[in-house]
Structure formats: structure tokens, C-alpha cells
């Protein structure tokens, strides 16, 4: 990505995360980046296009990280542990993107639909891991869709926890999630 485009991308992500999509104007983005409107429009046709690019790229990075990490695991419990760890690390690395996506997942406007779609695609990957694990006998039988949503909800609740405390000990949270959720999935 070109330097100017990246700066527009990163600035927009920060502003959308802090102020919200509606409250962020093209003028504010260009002023913060230090470019003319024409330069912004050379890289992005509209604020909506910036938003869509942000969501697409951010969720793709999170999903790719999960797929790479889980492909190296031998069993389902290890894969689910990797998913939880990636999600927790993702909160630190992709906090602004996740804040934007989660703030826009409700509603029926185009950007809301896009955010829901990207979250559901991510959840579908986790659901597939769970279903394969049940088929192999690695984990207890359960409703794979519900469990996949619960695992993704760890991201949401951890993001809230991060905003509330400003402290974020990934290892401590991971140990709690492992104890509360993942250990209960293992067959005796």
C-alpha cells in the first residue's frame, strides 16, 4: 500500500474508532492526514469506500491469522486455544478495526450489513473447526454455531474489558478462557 493511502487508512481507522463513522468527516480525515481532498479521492472514492476497505482488510487479517495458526495444530482443542489466543492478541493489534466493526454490526445500512457479513464469515471458520472436532471425536458434541458465536463473543467481551480497565494481560485472560470454556469441551 502506498504511503499516502496507508496514512489515510490508518487515520480514518483511528477517527472512526474514536468518534464513530457518522461523526467523522472527509474534511477531518484530510486535515489530520495533511492532504488535499483530491489526494484522498485519488485513493478512495468516498468515506464509505474507506470504511469498506478498513473492514474488509481488518477482518481478513484477523481471519488469516486464525487460519494460519490453526493449520499448525494437531487437534481441535489446540485449534480452539489458538483461536482464542489470536482473538486476544487481535484486540491489541486490531483494536480500532474491531471497535469499528462491533460498533457497526447492528442495523441494516450497507456498512452494517458488511460488518455482519465479515463477522459471520469469521464465525463460520470457527464453526467448521468445531464441527470437524466433533466428527473426529476430539471434543464433546454441542451446537457448533452457538459455540462458535460464544468463542467470538470472547473478543467482544475482552474488548469491553480492555476499554474499561486499560490493562490487558493477554496471558491472564487466556488462562481464564481456557479454564472456563475450553477445558469443558474436552472428552474425559
- What does each C-alpha distance from 40 to 25, 75, 138, 141 come to in angstroms? 12, 47, 50, 51
Q: Where in the chain is the domain with CATH 1.10.357.10?
A: 55-185
Are the beta carbons of 33 and 11 closer than 8 angstroms?
Answer: yes
Summarised one tens digit per residue, pLDDT across range 44-86 is: 999 999 999 999 999 999 999 999 999 999 999 999 999 999 9
Name the pLDDT band for 188 (thresholds 50, 70, 90).
low
Task: Report if pTM > 0.85.
Answer: yes
- What does each C-alpha distance from 107 to 110, 124, 171, 182 come to in angstroms? 9, 21, 34, 32
Nearest to 87, CA basis, from 187, 180, 178, 1: 178
CATH number attached to the domain at 1-45: 1.10.10.60
SS3 19: helix
* Rounded average pLDDT over 143-167: 88
In angstroms, the CA 168 to CA 164 distance is 10
pLDDT at residue 154 in the model = 85
Q: Where in the chain is the domain with CATH 1.10.10.60?
A: 1-45
C-alpha cell at 130: 468445531
Summarised one tens digit per residue, pLDDT across range 82-137 is: 999 999 998 888 889 999 999 999 999 999 999 999 999 999 999 999 999 999 99
Summarised one tens digit per residue, pLDDT across range 160-181 is: 888 888 778 889 888 888 887 7
Give domain 55-185's CATH superfamily: Tetracycline Repressor, domain 2 (1.10.357.10)
Amino acid at each position: 500500500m502506498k504511503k499516502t493511502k496507508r496514512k489515510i487508512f490508518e487515520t480514518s481507522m483511528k477517527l472512526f474508532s474514536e468518534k464513530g463513522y457518522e461523526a467523522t468527516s472527509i474534511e477531518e480525515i484530510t486535515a489530520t492526514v495533511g492532504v488535499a481532498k483530491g489526494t484522498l479521492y485519488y485513493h478512495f472514492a468516498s468515506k464509505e469506500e474507506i470504511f469498506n476497505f478498513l473492514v474488509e482488510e481488518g477482518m481478513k487479517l484477523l481471519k488469516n491469522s486464525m487460519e494460519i495458526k490453526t493449520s499448525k495444530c494437531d487437534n481441535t482443542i489446540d485449534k480452539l486455544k489458538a483461536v482464542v489466543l489470536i482473538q486476544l492478541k487481535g484486540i491489541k493489534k486490531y483494536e480500532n478495526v474491531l471497535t469499528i466493526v462491533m460498533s457497526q454490526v447492528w442495523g441494516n445500512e450497507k456498512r452494517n450489513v458488511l460488518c455482519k457479513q465479515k463477522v459471520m464469515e469469521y464465525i463460520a471458520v470457527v464453526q467448521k473447526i468445531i464441527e470437524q472436532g466433533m466428527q473426529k471425536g476430539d471434543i464433546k458434541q454441542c451446537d457448533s454455531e452457538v459455540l462458535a458465536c460464544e468463542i467470538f463473543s470472547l473478543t467482544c467481551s475482552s474488548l469491553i474489558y480492555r476499554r474499561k480497565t486499560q490493562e490487558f494481560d493477554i496471558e491472564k485472560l487466556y488462562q481464564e478462557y481456557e479454564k472456563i470454556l475450553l477445558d469443558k469441551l474436552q472428552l474425559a
